Amino acid sequence: MYQVLVGNNTKLPEEALYMVRFHSFYPWHTSGAYDYLCTDKDRRMLEWVLKFNEFDLYSKGDVLPDIDGLKPYYQSLIDKYCPGKLKW
């Protein structure tokens, strides 16, 4: 998803791109693995990845959301940060 966003010139801030790119890289953000490869910027961005994980893993409910009710809100975010037709 990171490559799709970058390839489509997303307007998301860099912190959001780090969240998308590294949220599943558990060795890095849970046990500090690969720190020797990190830049100071990577270490600063780690805070954002950790914040995102609070809402990513184990945050799903059993009740399905109201898709029709939520669609306008999420479509407005897509239009704002990823306007136009995405190139995959």
- 86 in any annotated domain: no
Total-model pTM: 0.84
For the cut 80, the answer to whether the pLDDT of residue 57 exceeds it is no
pLDDT in tens, 30-56: 999 999 999 999 999 999 999 998 887
- 63 in any annotated domain: yes
Q: Cα–Cα distance between 22 and 50 in angstroms, integer?
A: 10
Q: Kindly state the average pLDDT of the residues 56-77.
A: 88
**How many separate domains does the chain show?**
1
- 6 in any annotated domain: yes
- 87 in any annotated domain: no
- 45 in any annotated domain: yes
Domain extent for 26: 2-81
- 36 in any annotated domain: yes
- 62 in any annotated domain: yes
- 88 in any annotated domain: no
- In percent, the amount of the chain with pLDDT more than 70 equals 97
